[in-house]
Structure 1
Amino acid sequence: MTNQREKRNEASLPHSVFSAEWLRKVEGQAAQETGISLFTLMQRAAEAAFSLTQRTYPDARHWLVLCGHGNNGGDGYEVARLAKNAGLRVTLLAVENDKALPEEAQQARQGWLACGGRVGSSNAQWPEDADVIIDGLLGTGLSCAPHAPYTTLIDAMNAASAPVVSLDIPSGLNAQTGQAAGRAVHANHTISFIALKPGLLTGQSRDYVGSLHYAALGLDSWLRGHTALLQRLDATQIGQWLSPRRPCSNKGEHGRLVVIGGDVGFAGAIRMASEAALRTGAGLVRVLTHKQHAGPLLTARPELMVQELTAESLNEALEWADVIVIGPGLGQKTWGKQALERVAKCDKPALWDADALNLLAIAPEKRQNRVLTPHPGEAARLLGCTVKDIESDRLLSVRKLVDQYGGVVVLKGAGTLIAGEQGELAVADVGNAGMASGGMGDVLSGIIGGLLAQKLNVYDAACAGTVIHGAAADEIARRQGTRGMLATDLLAVIAPLVNPDLKK
């Protein structure tokens, strides 16, 4: 069973993402305003899931359907009925308790029984010959760790050789945060109904969701009249941020960027960041670094302008530059601290990363025209909490960072989040496990810095840069897989991505 997204079908996934809690509250309102009954929505959800499963696993003759004691279970009963009516063998196991099923779920259960279906107990013998499993145990209302008998069924699904299709969300995964407080289903496919929820795109979601699919159930027009919680970003949108260059443009028009960092032993970080900025299209890139790195950097990349970082060269560079990137390989010694203190007094657009963030955590200050790019560990230091606190609710964490430090914050991770001071919030639906290697953050800093130099505003530069970064890694993964991916591998594929007008 796979634990990561097998395939992205970006054209079929919407870019608007809605709060799971809000969706639960307004589902009845949506049904009333559109004239589509809640039971009809349940039937449509089942039809979409049945169609997806039959399309994906056309040779599956024995379907195992697991139903919980809620509307997610109702979806399962309806899927089971459709499968049985199609001539398939269906085994249905249900979790039952003393409480009555919700009205629509009860109606679906009666429909299953009326067509000759049988309801097996959750502790019945597991059918080892099932060809596919439908997960209809726990839906988007889950707010705590699952308990028995759900945990037993989740464990059985995860241990089974048959593929799993989850209805709306893998059972056990929090639809808002993407966290699994306890056991959760590792699905091969998940089909989200009505709208995408944040928990499908960030947090631990990629360990559980598998291939993500979507069915609006006829409510897409209704949803367009409501404000989404956040936006899903992918590579199809790069052209919205980057237009073709004017034929007679010159390097000065594409920005002057200074990249500051690279203390002793960290020349690689400053080189990756500065070269990424060049590959992204910055007109001129000046590097201020430790004197022992100047020669090697010029030899490796002669297009860079490299100087020793001194008080004099820093003042000159800050006067010259349009944009500043500081942090890659900066260190936390006096050398780096003094440079950051001087940069903090400059009001030009800037990106702070790595040790610039660690130093900021020691001496917090707030400003508007700055991008911060923390990973969860750096975010925890900035907020004075634990990494577990950050990861337990990434959406809340990124908003707290913006509230405290201003500007734009890019909270890195699987499902990187980007937040701005005007309430902007987005999730980058790009990237893969190959990015779990040293230097990736330095490349991201350079990409965003390069876009800032080309006069994108801080939020758009952060969004576009994060997408380009992840999309570049996805291209490398398509070519060679994820294991063994290097940060420098991305440099060769950035240029085609920042030229979306290029004829394929």
Structure 2
Amino acid sequence: MSNQDSKKNRGSLPYSVWPAQALAQLEHEGADTLGITLYELMLRAGQAAYEHSQTHWPEAQSWLILCGHGNNGGDGYVVARLAQAAGKQVTLLACEGKKPLPEEAQSARDAWLEAGGEIHAADASWPEKVDLIIDALLGTGINRAPAEPYATLIQQVNRHAAPVLSIDMPSGLSAATGSASGDVVDATHTLSFIALKPGQITGKARDYIGELNYADLGLSAYLSGETAPMARFDACFLSHWLKPRKPTSHKGNQGRLLVVGGDAGTAGAIRMTSEAALRTGSGLVRVLTHKDNIAPILTARPEIMVDELTDERLSEALKWADVIAIGPGLGQRDWGKKALKSVAESEKPMLWDADALNLLAISAEKRQNRIITPHPGEAARLLGIKTSEIESDRLHAAQALANRYGGVVVLKGAGTIIASEAGEMAFADVGNAGMASGGMGDVLSGIIASLMGQKLALFDAACAGCVAHGAAADAVAAKRGTRGMLATDLFDLLWQFVNPEMNQ
């Protein structure tokens, strides 16, 4: 399944995201609000999963249902009973545990047996014909590599050709972080109940979730009154941030952006950042760079004001600018270090990327007027840990960066995370594998810096910039696929997303 196919249903998803550890409380409070028991809530979950299966795979007659020893397995027992009552051929394999089943799951198991259902051991042979697999093994509770017999079952699922519906989470994928420390079910669809979880959006989520769907189980009214601690943003949300311009707008009030970087031989990085800013709507973009880069940049994009980076010009430009972006192509020589030191003395809104972050890791300092945009490797250097540690818990890493360096952090990657020291956290639910190419980060820096100059608050500029960037890449992928995508390909379609009124 392509990234584009997996996203086709995401417009119906809520924008709120809840921590995995909050789910039990949401379930209890939601059930109390509705005046129903937790078992009745489980019946709703099973009904939703059954109806989803019927809608998407109506021809499937032979269903294989895999149940774990928890409430996720309880949902599976409900699905099995409903499918059997509808005339489906149901084979149910269950993993037994050392502890008793939770009360609700035991009730669902008893109801399945009372309806004449059979329970086979986890290592039982699979039917020769399987049209649909229901993954109700581990759900949201996993925080380590799946043990046996779960690991073997997951491997069998992934070798089988039948479509797979994972209930709440693909088994083996962490609902809290999106990390995968062992085998994970490669789902065709995932049906999330009650709330979206971080692990469905960031980390390894895109590799395993498939098409993400959502069922509120009747709790939407209850959840609408709660303030979710995290948000999910996509292209549909751009109109919230980017309003049509007033007819009397002029270049002076659309932001004067200073971009600093581009040591010898790195004209491309600084050019992409500065052009991305113009394409996003900056009124004026001024570049200070190595003298060898001036002619190539002007030849490629004459609308950019380019000059050699000197102490005198930098001092004057810092007074002129509304916003400063530094880092693309900056290098780590004394030339770049000196420029960064001067920029750091300014109190104007600024964005640091690339080598500015590598230099920041050497000499850490905290400030509130800055956005930093590290990829996982840069984030690891900024926190003094391994890249694998960043990827194992991207939410914690993003918040740790915000706490250490202040301002706003954009932790790039699949399911980019935007976090602030104040505790705001959001996911940019856009983008695709075609963005795994050089220059994408330079373009993102220009987009975000441009929106800062257009008077968006730092957190909003970071969110809107990440969404516009990823949405433009998705539009490119929809036309031409992901392989071979260039960072500058985004320029042809970026206008659609920074002018959201054109799509209304």
2: CA distance, partners of 1:128 / 1:359: 60
The equivalent of 2:403 in structure 1 is: 403
The CA deviation at 1:315 is 1.0
The structure-2 alpha-carbon separation of the partners of 1:34 and 1:344, relative to structure 1 and needing over 3 Å to count, comes to same
Matches within 5 A, 1:318-357: 318-357=318-357
User: 2:409 aligned with 1:425, yes or no?
Assistant: no
Matches within 5 A, 1:49-128: 49-128=49-128
- 8 Å CA contact 2:348–2:369 kept in 1: the answer is yes
1: CA distance, partners of 2:192 / 2:446: 35
The CA deviation at 1:27 is 2.1
| TM-score for the superposition, normalised by structure 1 | 0.98
Identity over the aligned pairs, expressed in percent?
63
Q: Which amino acid aligns with 1:430?
A: V
User: 2:158 aligned with 1:158, yes or no?
Assistant: yes
The CA deviation at 1:5 is 6.3
1: CA distance, partners of 2:482 / 2:240: 28
The structure-2 alpha-carbon separation of the partners of 1:76 and 1:229, relative to structure 1 and needing over 3 Å to count, comes to same
1: CA distance, partners of 2:462 / 2:17: 19
The CA deviation at 1:304 is 0.5
The equivalent of 1:390 in structure 2 is: 390
Q: What are the superposed Cα offsets for residues 190-246 of structure 1, whole Å, 9 maximum, x if unpaired? A: 000010011111111111111100001011111223231210111101001011101
Q: Which amino acid aligns with 2:405?
A: Y
Q: What are the superposed Cα offsets for residues 405-444 of structure 1, whole Å, 9 maximum, x if unpaired? A: 0000000010100011221110111101111111000000
Q: Which amino acid aligns with 1:364?
A: A
- 8 Å CA contact 2:138–2:172 kept in 1: the answer is yes
The structure-2 alpha-carbon separation of the partners of 1:5 and 1:424, relative to structure 1 and needing over 3 Å to count, comes to farther
- 8 Å CA contact 2:229–2:424 kept in 1: the answer is no
- 8 Å CA contact 1:64–1:130 kept in 2: the answer is yes
User: 2:140 aligned with 1:140, yes or no?
Assistant: yes
2: CA distance, partners of 1:376 / 1:353: 12
- 8 Å CA contact 1:4–1:207 kept in 2: the answer is no
- 8 Å CA contact 2:4–2:478 kept in 1: the answer is no
The CA deviation at 1:99 is 2.5
The CA deviation at 1:90 is 1.0
The CA deviation at 1:113 is 1.7
Q: What are the superposed Cα offsets for residues 343-399 of structure 1, whole Å, 9 maximum, x if unpaired? A: 000111000000000000011111101100000000000011111111111111111
Q: Which amino acid aligns with 2:266?
A: F
- 8 Å CA contact 1:5–1:209 kept in 2: the answer is no
The structure-2 alpha-carbon separation of the partners of 1:410 and 1:84, relative to structure 1 and needing over 3 Å to count, comes to same
The equivalent of 1:207 in structure 2 is: 207
- 8 Å CA contact 2:10–2:212 kept in 1: the answer is no
The equivalent of 1:434 in structure 2 is: 434
The equivalent of 2:264 in structure 1 is: 264
The equivalent of 1:229 in structure 2 is: 229
2: CA distance, partners of 1:176 / 1:61: 34
The CA deviation at 1:248 is 1.4
The CA deviation at 1:26 is 4.1
The CA deviation at 1:9 is 2.1
Which stretch has the larger CA shift, 331-340 or 2-11?
A: 2-11
The equivalent of 1:149 in structure 2 is: 149
- 8 Å CA contact 1:4–1:206 kept in 2: the answer is no
Matches within 5 A, 1:237-316: 237-316=237-316
- 8 Å CA contact 2:261–2:327 kept in 1: the answer is yes
Which stretch has the larger CA shift, 275-284 or 286-295?
A: 286-295
The CA deviation at 1:11 is 2.9
The CA deviation at 1:86 is 1.2
The CA deviation at 1:3 is 8.4
Count of residue pairs the alignment pairs up: 504
The structure-2 alpha-carbon separation of the partners of 1:359 and 1:49, relative to structure 1 and needing over 3 Å to count, comes to same
2: CA distance, partners of 1:500 / 1:225: 28
The CA deviation at 1:115 is 2.1
The structure-2 alpha-carbon separation of the partners of 1:145 and 1:209, relative to structure 1 and needing over 3 Å to count, comes to same
| TM-score for the superposition, normalised by structure 2 | 0.98
Which stretches in structure 1 are left out of the alignment for 5+ residues? none
The CA deviation at 1:503 is 5.1
The equivalent of 1:465 in structure 2 is: 465
Matches within 5 A, 1:40-55: 40-55=40-55
1: CA distance, partners of 2:146 / 2:4: 22
2: CA distance, partners of 1:466 / 1:318: 26
- 8 Å CA contact 1:3–1:187 kept in 2: the answer is no
2: CA distance, partners of 1:144 / 1:4: 30
- 8 Å CA contact 2:327–2:356 kept in 1: the answer is yes
- 8 Å CA contact 1:431–1:473 kept in 2: the answer is yes
Q: Which amino acid aligns with 1:387?
A: T
The CA deviation at 1:128 is 3.9
- 8 Å CA contact 2:371–2:410 kept in 1: the answer is yes
Q: Which amino acid aligns with 2:470?
A: G
The CA deviation at 1:98 is 3.9
The CA deviation at 1:2 is 6.8
2: CA distance, partners of 1:483 / 1:63: 36
1: CA distance, partners of 2:2 / 2:370: 39
The structure-2 alpha-carbon separation of the partners of 1:432 and 1:263, relative to structure 1 and needing over 3 Å to count, comes to same
- 8 Å CA contact 2:269–2:442 kept in 1: the answer is yes
2: CA distance, partners of 1:308 / 1:230: 43
2: CA distance, partners of 1:302 / 1:26: 56
Partner of 1:502, secondary structure, is: helix
User: 2:22 aligned with 1:22, yes or no?
Assistant: yes
RMSD across aligned C-alpha pairs, in angstroms?
1.3
The CA deviation at 1:31 is 1.5
2: CA distance, partners of 1:121 / 1:57: 26
1: CA distance, partners of 2:454 / 2:227: 30
- 8 Å CA contact 2:136–2:171 kept in 1: the answer is yes
Q: Which amino acid aligns with 2:409?
A: V
Partner of 1:135, secondary structure, is: strand
Matches within 5 A, 1:488-503: 488-502=488-502
The CA deviation at 1:4 is 8.6
Q: Which amino acid aligns with 2:170?
A: P
The equivalent of 2:449 in structure 1 is: 449
The equivalent of 2:33 in structure 1 is: 33
Which stretch has the larger CA shift, 461-470 or 96-105?
A: 96-105
Which stretch has the larger CA shift, 226-235 or 211-220?
A: 226-235
2: CA distance, partners of 1:21 / 1:36: 22
